[in-house]
Amino acid sequence: QWKDDDPEILIVVDAGYDVPRLAFLLKDLPVQVLGRMRSDRVLRRAVPPREPGLRRRPPRHGGEFVFGDPATWNTPDTQTVTATRLYGTTVARAWDRLHPRLTHRSAWTAELGALPVIEGTVIRLQVEHLPSGATPKPVWLWWSGTDATETTVDLLWQAFLRRFDIEHTFRLFKQTLGWTCPKIRSPEAADRWTWLILAPFTQLRLARPLAADLRRPWEKPAPPDRLTPARVRRDFRHLRTRAACPAGAPKTARPGPGRPPGRRNDQPTARYDVHTVGRPGSAKRRTKKSTTPRPRRTG
């Protein structure tokens, strides 16, 4: 669906992914990668301009940028301060053109020759407080782009926080609304089933002011206009009896004639081989009996 005039696609991942590796593999596509890094990472700066008259081999990496050592940060290239509803005052600092020092291990074992220098932008996000009341810790983000402005930095860290809501939405689709339960045969059927799942999800969002908060003992009370779709679903059985049904009463009808005689089924159900694995030693070995008579012992 992407076109030439559209902005590049932004992929947001968590700390379990190698973000520079993803950016290297997707460099030929209109894609930008944003991901969280561990707080103990060490990156390298860009190589400073070479002094005239030096004949030694130029270095490939600049100075170290240690996430846990503020003395190595220097002045950030971009800094923004934003007031939010859930996190209070958020401070985002960005440093441009930082890259990891790669080695011929793990995902880079098969690479021959010199490893690439993958530059990006590092963003440190510090919030004032968390909704749960826990002690907030800084979040380190790495973006595959460079020369980030203040508007870009705010867009990136807000997109990363938005990822949490999107992941829980897909979790509700799979575990509660049964998005992955049917065995879909074609992509068209999968698209139709996805739109059908979106219909009850929209109803749950619209029914928030009408539903009661049937919370668990360990859950905090929530205002009526801030109920999650999962909480609305608990009280949806009481709302369904009061809501009007747009469909008419079902009419009695005879069953359809079915497939005409002599016509074959063009879309048979897919069948898969069943492989049974037994316990080792449970099956008895069968030996073929010899048909040659044994010689009798004499004497």
Instruction: Provide DSSP, 240-261.
Output: HHHSPP-SPPPPP-PPP--SPT
CB 110 within 8 A of CB 53: no
Distances (CA, A) of 277 to 15, 272, 280, 282, 285: 38, 16, 9, 11, 16
pLDDT over 90 (residue 198): yes
- For 27-78, the pLDDT digits (tens) are 999 999 999 999 999 999 988 777 776 677 778 888 999 999 999 999 999 9
Q: Mean pLDDT in the chain?
A: 86
Q: For residue 33, with 0-12 CB atoms within 10 Å meaning exposed, 13-18 middle and 19 or more buried, which class applies?
A: buried
The whole-number pLDDT of residue 289 equals 52
Helix (H) or strand (E) holding 42: strand 42-45
The whole-number pLDDT of residue 252 equals 77
Tokens 């679903």: give the residue. Answer: 233
- For 137-180, the pLDDT digits (tens) are 999 999 999 999 999 999 999 999 998 888 889 999 999 899 99
CA atoms within 13 A on the CB side of 142: 30
The whole-number pLDDT of residue 138 equals 95
CB 23 within 8 A of CB 99: no
The whole-number pLDDT of residue 81 equals 96
Higher pLDDT, 217 or 295: 217
The tokens describing 161, both together, are 């926080």
Terminal Cα-to-Cα distance of the chain (whole angstroms)? 95
- CA torsion, ordered 186, 187, 189, 195, to nearest 10 deg: 170
CA 97 to CA 103: how far, in whole Å? 19
pLDDT over 80 (residue 283): no
How does strand 31-37 pair with strand 42-45? unpaired
The whole-number pLDDT of residue 30 equals 94
CA 190 to CA 185: how far, in whole Å? 8
pLDDT over 70 (residue 284): no
pLDDT over 80 (residue 290): no
The whole-number pLDDT of residue 297 equals 59
In 3D, which of 29, 34, 28, 27 has the Cα closest to residue 10?
A: 34
- For 113-142, the pLDDT digits (tens) are 889 999 999 999 999 999 888 899 999 999
The whole-number pLDDT of residue 222 equals 85
CA 17 to CA 37: how far, in whole Å? 9
- CA torsion, ordered 30, 33, 34, 36, to nearest 10 deg: 170
Res. 23 pLDDT band, cuts 50 70 90:
very high
Q: How many helices (H) and strands (E) does the chain have?
A: 5, 8
Domain ranges of the chain: 9-48+59-175, 187-242
The tokens describing 110, both together, are 């098969």
Helix locations, 142-278, DSSP H: 150-175, 187-206, 229-234, 236-242
CB 41 within 8 A of CB 114: no
Whole-model pTM: value is 0.71
CA 80 to CA 124: how far, in whole Å? 11
Helix axes 187-206, 150-175, angle to 10 degrees: 100
The whole-number pLDDT of residue 133 equals 85
The whole-number pLDDT of residue 299 equals 52
Distances (CA, A) of 99 to 19, 69, 134: 11, 17, 32
Helix (H) or strand (E) holding 35: strand 31-37
